[in-house]
């Protein structure tokens, strides 16, 4: 897939239409000029989600009521689709070729993988960030799987409400067990699907991981279930059912659900050492980049095409030696979009692709 054009209206401070190169596209400009806004617009076009806010309405230009992002995506020499996201104060409208679509039908038309400072939380932050990385990768490969994650979140929310109510009202264990049973049965079904999908995704990441692309240290990852050493993980469904029964009293005391894949983690190590605890900032950046490159490779192996790769503030997160290796690795593969505020980056790498100078939100190609 290739993003041929992008048009924005009232999206943050951006305005106008631009056309892209099939390979590298560089947004250059001073801090605050709007470089990141342009690649965030690409991310919204792909996923209907912004990467700098959880509230999409916050991307609407101050004083305006609606923002629009549109782009032409070439799937093949014969097939071009226009994608459009309209954002209002209370909703978002997704459309393909002028026809309004549900999120389920829209997602998967364009896929983008992001590398920025916030994404570094995957390797240095809390487990929920690593679970998000896994789940986003799975949905990228199989968009309908988003329904499983949504169902699981709903089940956990309802179960937690029951547990909290039982705690507040001192409900007896036999009564709460009866109330929890239907939710636990639903939880087991959804959790088993998630556990299997995450395990398989990590297996596939490991199959393509360029473990030493940026240095001598070797990156390794492993899916760490919260039920490890609790029984036979190969029989996950029955093990989960057993643990849910055993831990009812503990869950009542806590007031929330203690058992399930929402408690799992992704173990990331460099040369056998926990990257989160012992990795340097440079090692953490390299590890994240290797994970995202593996994510791209898995996507390509599954879908037969490459996703877009969005790299914000590239020379703040990577040195020029790593950047050179990265761009060599990506050549002929992904359509890549990067931002930089440094003229030295433009001098060194700008000739490799299409350069856009950004001033006041307006992007002009040289």
Distance CA(220)–CA(262), nearest Å, equals 22
pLDDT number for residue 167: 80
Mean pLDDT throughout 172-183? 84
Looking up tokens 């400072």 gives 117
Residue 108 has pLDDT above 90, yes or no: no
pLDDT number for residue 185: 96
Mean pLDDT throughout 98-107? 89
Distance CA(156)–CA(149), nearest Å, equals 11
Angstrom CA distances, 46 to 72, 112, 170, 342, stand at 11, 6, 47, 27
Rounded mean pLDDT of the chain? 92
CB atoms within 10 A of CB 338: 25
In DSSP terms, 88 is beta-bridged to 66
Q: Are 81 and 343 in contact (CB under 8 A)?
A: no
Mean pLDDT throughout 26-53? 93
pLDDT number for residue 281: 85
Q: Which two tokens stand for residue 79?
A: 């097939």
User: Rounded to the nearest 5°, which phi and psi values hold at 165?
Assistant: -65, -40
The CATH superfamily of 124-304 is: RecF/RecN/SMC, N-terminal domain (1.20.1050.90)
pLDDT number for residue 77: 83
CATH class, 1-111+307-366 region? alpha beta
Q: What is the DSSP string of 240-257?
A: HHHHHHHTHHHHHHHTS-
Looking up tokens 């350069």 gives 355
Residue 38 has pLDDT above 80, yes or no: yes
Q: Which two tokens stand for residue 262?
A: 């929402």
pLDDT number for residue 312: 93
Mean pLDDT throughout 329-338? 93
Q: Are 33 and 43 in contact (CB under 8 A)?
A: no
0.75 exceeded by pTM: yes
Greater pLDDT, 53 or 186: 186
Q: Is 364 exposed, middle or buried (0-12, 13-18, 19+ CB in 10 A)?
A: exposed
Q: In which residue ranges of the chain is CATH 3.40.50.300 found? A: 1-111+307-366
Q: How many CA atoms lie within 13 A of 122 on its CB side?
A: 26
Q: Which two tokens stand for residue 315?
A: 């020379």
Angstrom CA distances, 148 to 4, 136, 265, 292, stand at 32, 12, 18, 23
Q: Are 11 and 37 in contact (CB under 8 A)?
A: yes
Residue 66: helix, strand or coil by DSSP?
Answer: strand
Q: Which two tokens stand for residue 200?
A: 């398989």
Q: Are 238 and 184 in contact (CB under 8 A)?
A: no
Q: What is the DSSP string of 310-322?
A: EETTHHHHS-HHH
Mean pLDDT throughout 63-79? 92
pLDDT number for residue 174: 75
Interval 207-233: pLDDT, tens: 999 877 777 778 899 999 999 999 999
User: Rounded to the nearest 5°, which phi and psi values hold at 70?
Assistant: -135, 150
Give the dihedral of Cα atoms 331, 124, 42, 291; nearest 10 deg. 30
Query: What single DSSP character describes residue 56?
Result: G
Mean pLDDT throughout 340-350? 93
Query: pLDDT-based confidence at 247, cuts 50/70/90?
Result: very high
Q: In which residue ranges of the chain is CATH 1.20.1050.90 found? A: 124-304
pLDDT number for residue 127: 96
Query: What single DSSP character describes residue 328?
Result: H
pLDDT number for residue 93: 95
């Amino acid at each position: 897939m290739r993003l041929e054009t992008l048009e924005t209206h009232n999206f943050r401070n951006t305005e106008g239409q631009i056309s892209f190169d099939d390979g590298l596209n560089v947004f250059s400009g001073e801090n605050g000029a709007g470089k990141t806004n342009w690649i965030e617009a690409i991310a919204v076009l792909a996923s209907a989600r912004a990467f700098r806010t959880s509230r999409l309405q916050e991307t609407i230009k101050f004083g305006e009521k609606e923002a629009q992002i549109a782009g032409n995506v070439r799937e093949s020499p014969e097939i071009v689709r226009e994608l459009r996201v309209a954002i209002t104060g209370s909703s978002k409208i997704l459309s393909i070729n002028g026809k309004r679509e549900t999120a389920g039908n829209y997602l998967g038309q364009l896929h983008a993988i992001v590398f920025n400072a916030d994404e570094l939380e995957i390797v240095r932050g809390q487990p929920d960030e690593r679970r998000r990385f896994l789940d986003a990768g799975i949905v990228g490969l199989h968009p309908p799987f988003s329904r499983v994650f949504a169902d699981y979140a709903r089940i956990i929310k309802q179960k937690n409400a029951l547990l909290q109510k039982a705690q507040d009202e001192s409900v007896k264990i036999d009564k709460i067990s009866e109330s929890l049973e239907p939710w636990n049965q639903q939880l087991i079904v959804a959790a088993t699907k998630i556990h299997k999908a995450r395990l398989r995704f990590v297996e596939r990441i490991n199959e393509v991981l360029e473990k030493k692309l940026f240095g001598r240290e070797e990156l390794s990852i492993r899916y760490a279930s919260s039920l490890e050493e609790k029984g036979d993980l190969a029989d996950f469904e029955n093990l989960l059912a057993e643990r849910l029964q055993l831990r009812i009293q503990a869950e009542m005391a806590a007031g929330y659900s203690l058992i399930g894949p929402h408690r799992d983690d992704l173990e990331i190590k460099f040369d056998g050492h926990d990257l989160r605890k012992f990795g340097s900032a440079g090692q953490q950046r390299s590890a994240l980049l290797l994970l995202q490159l593996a994510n791209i490779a898995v996507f390509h192996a599954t879908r037969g095409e490459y996703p877009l790769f969005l790299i914000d503030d590239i020379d703040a997160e990577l040195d020029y030696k790593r950047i050179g290796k990265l761009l060599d690795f990506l050549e002929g593969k992904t359509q890549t979009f990067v931002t930089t505020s440094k003229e030295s980056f433009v001098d060194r790498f700008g000739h490799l692709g299409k350069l856009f100078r950004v001033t006041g939100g307006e992007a002009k190609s040289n």
